[in-house]
Structures are given as structure tokens and as C-alpha cells.
Amino acid sequence: FSSAAAVVRAQVQQEPSVETPEGTAVSISCSHPNMRSAEYVQWYRQFPGRGPERLEFIHKGFKELRDPPGRLSVAEDRRSSSLWLQHPRLSDAATYYCARG
């Protein structure tokens, strides 16, 4: 891969995968240690065979999510964030991404 891609990849870090039984809450973490003051944390999900869709973006604090039901939160120091899914269903199975911007 190109060096530019390597730089972009270094901006956020996520665990490779998370599994949970249907209906059991799960939290997905993201680390972004070098956030600039004006940047937002953005979370996306991507279903197999489809393009990514933005779930929500947040500067700090937390936001409730309607679909999928849950909460997006950013740590006080803005070095990490998490996506908490309250009652994940089989239909919520997807790849979830965080990004800075």
C-alpha cells in the first residue's frame, strides 16, 4: 500500500472484530490519540455488498442513536470513542468503522 494510506490508517485504531449473541449489548471501541480541536469523530457501517453509510458524527460527549439503537460517545480527552449497540439484531451484522474529520 502507499505511504499516504499508511498515514491515514495510523489516524484511528479499532479492534479487528467483535461478536455478541443477538439481543446482547456490545461496545465497539476506537482509538484516535491525535485529534485536532476542530475534528469530529465519525462512525460508519457497511453491509456486505453495499457502500458505507454514516451513522453519526460527534465532537465530544455522547449522542443517542435511533438506528441501530444505542449510543455514540467520545472520551473527555477525545483520544477514544465507542459505539454501544443496545439490542443488536442479526440484521445489524455489518462492518463498523470510525474515522476522523
Per-residue pLDDT tens over the stretch 43-97: 999 999 999 999 999 999 999 999 899 999 999 999 999 999 999 999 999 999 8
Q: What is the pLDDT of residue 7?
A: 46
Domain 22-100 matching CATH 2.60.40.10: the answer reads: yes
Confidence of residue 37 (pLDDT cuts 50, 70, 90): confident
The band of 5, judged by pLDDT with boundaries at 50, 70 and 90, is very low
Is the distance from CB of 72 to CB of 85 less than 8 angstroms? no
Nearest to 78 by CA among 12, 21, 20: 12
